[in-house]
DNA sequence: AAATCGGGGGT
DNA sequence: ACCCCAGATTT
């Protein structure tokens, strides 16, 4: 049997039941694929079900408010995906009369849809012969065929794309694509792959040359930036101080609290830090540390401190983006995970 | 070509 | 601690 036939046979026997697998509706597939970008199936699944329940079709999605979409997205990360989805849903209603496109060439023009996602939607919805190349496929191809070109170099991307295109010839595109990804996810895993019970062990370059742990090759490790966020929780009666995050930084468009970022851990005994807080909240300000946490992102480690503030006067001229909103309204807004967790734990 | 964008899970 | 996840977009 060929490499492809072995993979497909393995797939038909071992595939998971997933809620987006038994449809050819391009809208539903689009929903699942955007959610699953850089996201594990088990993490994305509840979000997929939630979004489908709220927006059963692309017109429902297009009619949503951006803050509602971001609220549903809360906790999933890479929030521009949610905003791009809303833009694309409205675009599809406007330019395609609400009929979601199924061809690769149309799909790849949509905001938030790149090579991978266009190949996935087109092959799953209309069986178009476009090979998906995601992290799973890189790994399976790299190991089996011994491709040692880095998967994140230009040369490597083209090499893997060309190889994947060759391999999908004469295959059933929808099934073959899903088989490759499922095989990578369950069998040819990044760590501790199941080589002992692998149907294509015999032809595998990496297994033969004991390079399974070395492939695929990936360049550059991200250098992590450390940051210190000092949040100020100001509550008077039934209102709380809120701030919407602006473009050019993490969590843009989401809502958090008034913030002073420092270059190291801020302390109430630090006169410099105290001066900044008084500039923003007045001389009578009383501060108290509520909680300290470490929040880890891909490119940043953020040390977060939450301060309760009393007897404060907000210098709105200094920070015009700060608003005072009803606590119940604040809870309805989309927040970064660390803020959402804080609110749930500390704010009644 | 490199940097940026989250949060969670595996080893 | 480090790597990866059904990647895309911006710089």
Residues A111-154 pLDDT 10s = 999 999 999 999 999 999 999 999 999 999 999 999 999 999 98
**CATH 3.90.1010.10 is right for the domain spanning A3-208:** no
Closest residue (CA to C1') to nucleotide C4 in the complex: A190
Cα–Cα distance, A91 to A100 (Å, whole number): 10
| Distance CA A226 to C1' B1 in A | 24
Q: Is A113 exposed, middle or buried (0-12, 13-18, 19+ CB in 10 A)?
A: buried
- Considering only CA atoms, which of A82, A174, A193 is closest in space to residue A136? A193
Domain boundaries, chain A: 3-208, 225-346
For chain A, give the percent of residues with pLDDT over 70: 99
| Distance CA A155 to C1' C9 in A | 20
For chain A, give the percent of residues with pLDDT over 90: 94
Q: What is the dihedral of CA A138, A143, A147, A148, to 10 degrees?
A: 100
The active-site residue out of A33, A106, A128, A182 is: A33
Reported confidence tier of residue A326, pLDDT bands at 50, 70, 90 = very high
Which positions on strand C lie below 7 Å from a protein C-beta? 2-9
Residue A221 has pLDDT above 80, yes or no: no
| Distance CA A255 to C1' C10 in A | 23
Among the listed ranges A30-44, A116-130, A272-286, which one has the minimum average pLDDT value? A272-286
The answer to whether the CB of A287 falls within 8 A of the CB of A234 is no
Q: What is the architecture of the domain spanning A225-346? A: Alpha-Beta Complex (3.90)
The answer to whether the CB of A284 falls within 8 A of the CB of A294 is no
Nucleotide nearest residue A220, measured CA to C1': B2
Residue A35 pLDDT: 98
Phi, psi of A239 (to 5 degrees): -120, 160
Is A181 (CB) below 7 Å from strand C?
yes
Return the structure tokens found at A14: 């071992």
- CA-to-CA separations, A212 to A151, A182, A194, in angstroms, rounded: 15, 18, 11
Closest residue (CA to C1') to nucleotide C7 in the complex: A37
First to last CA, chain A: 62
The answer to whether the CB of A124 falls within 8 A of the CB of A105 is no
Across A83-103, average pLDDT: 98
Residue A219 pLDDT: 87
Closest residue (CA to C1') to nucleotide B10 in the complex: A191
| H or E stretch at A254 | none
Closest residue (CA to C1') to nucleotide B2 in the complex: A220
Residue A318 pLDDT: 66
Residue A317 has pLDDT above 80, yes or no: no
| Distance CA A79 to C1' C8 in A | 12
Residue A293 pLDDT: 97
Return the structure tokens found at A337: 């995970």
What is the Cα gyration radius of chain A? 24
Among the listed ranges A167-176, A218-227, A245-254, A292-301, which one has the minimum average pLDDT value? A218-227
Residue A64 has pLDDT above 90, yes or no: yes
The answer to whether the CB of A131 falls within 8 A of the CB of A164 is yes
Residue A83 has pLDDT above 70, yes or no: yes
- Considering only CA atoms, which of A272, A123, A135, A144 is closest in space to residue A206? A144
The answer to whether the CB of A220 falls within 8 A of the CB of A214 is no
Residue A67 annotated as catalytic: no
Across A1-18, average pLDDT: 97
Closest residue (CA to C1') to nucleotide B4 in the complex: A299
| Distance CA A97 to C1' C5 in A | 34
Strand B protein footprint, C-beta under 7 A: A 38-40, 42-43, 75-80, 153-154, 189, 191-192, 219-220, 222, 248-252, 295-300, 336-338
Nucleotide nearest residue A190, measured CA to C1': C4
Nucleotide nearest residue A335, measured CA to C1': B6
| Distance CA A190 to C1' B10 in A | 9
- Considering only CA atoms, which of A13, A33, A35 is closest in space to residue A25? A33
Reported confidence tier of residue A319, pLDDT bands at 50, 70, 90 = confident
């Amino acid at each position: 049997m060929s490499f492809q036939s072995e993979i497909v046979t393995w797939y038909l026997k071992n595939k998971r039941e997933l809620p987006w697998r038994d449809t050819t509706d391009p809208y539903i597939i689009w929903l699942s694929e955007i959610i699953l970008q850089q996201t594990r199936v088990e993490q994305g699944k509840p979000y997929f079900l939630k979004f489908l329940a709220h927006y059963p079709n692309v017109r429902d999605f297009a009619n949503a408010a951006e803050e509602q979409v971001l609220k549903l997205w809360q906790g999933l990360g890479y929030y521009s995906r949610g905003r791009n989805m809303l833009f694309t849903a409205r675009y599809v209603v406007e330019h395609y009369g609400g009929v979601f496109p199924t061809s690769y060439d149309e799909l790849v023009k949509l905001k938030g849809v790149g090579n991978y996602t266009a190949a996935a939607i087109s092959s799953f919805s209309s069986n178009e012969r476009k090979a998906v190349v995601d992290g799973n496929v890189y790994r399976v191809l790299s190991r089996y065929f011994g491709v040692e070109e880095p998967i994140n170099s230009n040369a490597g991307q083209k090499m893997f794309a060309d190889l994947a295109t060759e391999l999908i010839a004469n295959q059933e595109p929808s099934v073959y694509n899903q088989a490759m990804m499922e095989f990578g996810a369950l069998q040819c895993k990044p760590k501790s792959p199941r080589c002992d019970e692998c149907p294509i062990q015999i032809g595998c370059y990496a297994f033969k040359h004991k390079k399974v742990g070395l492939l695929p090759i990936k360049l550059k490790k991200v250098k992590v930036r450390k940051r210190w966020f000092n949040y100020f929780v100001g509550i008077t009666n039934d209102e709380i101080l809120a701030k919407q995050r602006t473009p050019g930084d993490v969590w843009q468009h989401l809502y958090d609290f008034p913030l002073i970022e420092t270059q190291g851990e801020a302390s109430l005994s630090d006169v410099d830090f105290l001066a900044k807080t008084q500039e923003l909240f007045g001389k009578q300000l009383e501060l108290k540390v509520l909680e300290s946490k470490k929040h880890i992102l891909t490119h940043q480690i953020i040390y977060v401190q939450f301060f309760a503030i009393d007897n404060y006067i907000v210098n709105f001229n200094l920070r015009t983006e700060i608003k005072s909103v009803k606590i119940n309204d604040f809870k309805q807004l989309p927040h970064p995970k660390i803020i959402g967790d804080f609110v749930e734990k500390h704010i009644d």
